[in-house]
Structure 1
Amino acid sequence: MLLAPDVSAAAQAERMTALHADHSRAVLRLLLVLTHGKRQTAEDLLQETMLRAWRHLDSVPVEADAARRWLLTVARRLVIDGARLRLNRPAEVHLVDMTWIPADDDTTGTALASHAMRQALGLLSPAQRSLLCEVYLVGRSPKEVAGRLGMPVGTVKSRTHHALCALRSGLKAA
């Protein structure tokens, strides 16, 4: 049995308050399990679950058990959607910690930092330099670089990672 769509705003707010009070703990417990104990993530997903319930309150069954199953299904699907998003998103690669590079007004420090970077880049193979330039200076995505070089995206990502590691090592040595 579904709630009538012409229910007053006060009745909807009361229903939503009751749904939250009755089911939020169970939903949070499930989300904590599905997020491997990441409380902040689980709480964010609980909030999104309740927001979806609010937006689709007329779809939430009136019976308590059915309402709980509905909320748990929405929560589980949110976790699955989040996992799928992370799988499709390219891995974040962090460049060298550049906080040690001096400000613009420090010409001696800038010259030393530029010299160290040139030396570190000189230690890289031409292929590594070219790959880092394509990804970080030109701003192409790994997929674009893979298309240009005729290799798999995974190869571009791993070679970029190894080139960054070599650059870091070169900077530490310089």
Structure 2
Amino acid sequence: MVRRLHAEHGAALLAYATRLSGDRAAAEDIVRQTLLRAWSDPAALSAERGAVRARLFGVLREVAGAPADPLQMLGAVGTLPPEEREVLNQLYVQGRDVKEAAASLGLPAETVKSRSYQALRRLREALAAGVTTGAA
């Protein structure tokens, strides 16, 4: 099952994970973790190909967004401008797609995409810099 998933979706997952992480080795690890996590939920993978791919990308975002230290992630999120935090909240906490988030926020979909991209870039930079909440 994992081999089939990798054969069908591995290249797309790796490309996306590389964009999210900015590091090929980290991206390969993210894809491995994604496929293993997805494999443990066979019901989600028995759907049609497009639904399986969507589920895999959702799992990948969860894997890629899970920092080693939750406090570090909170500190990094705290550095974002409020409009970028709200976009990430809509997409990743509320689980909305771009179109739904755009409607909820009263923004064009392209603005949601742009803010999401900028927010994820800023988060990567903040996490790489070791930003924390300052709590000891």
Q: TM-score, normalised by structure 1?
A: 0.37
| More contact order relative to length (CA 8 Å, sep ≥ 6) | 2
Q: Please tell me whether Structure 1 or Structure 2 has the larger radius of gyration of its CA atoms.
A: 1
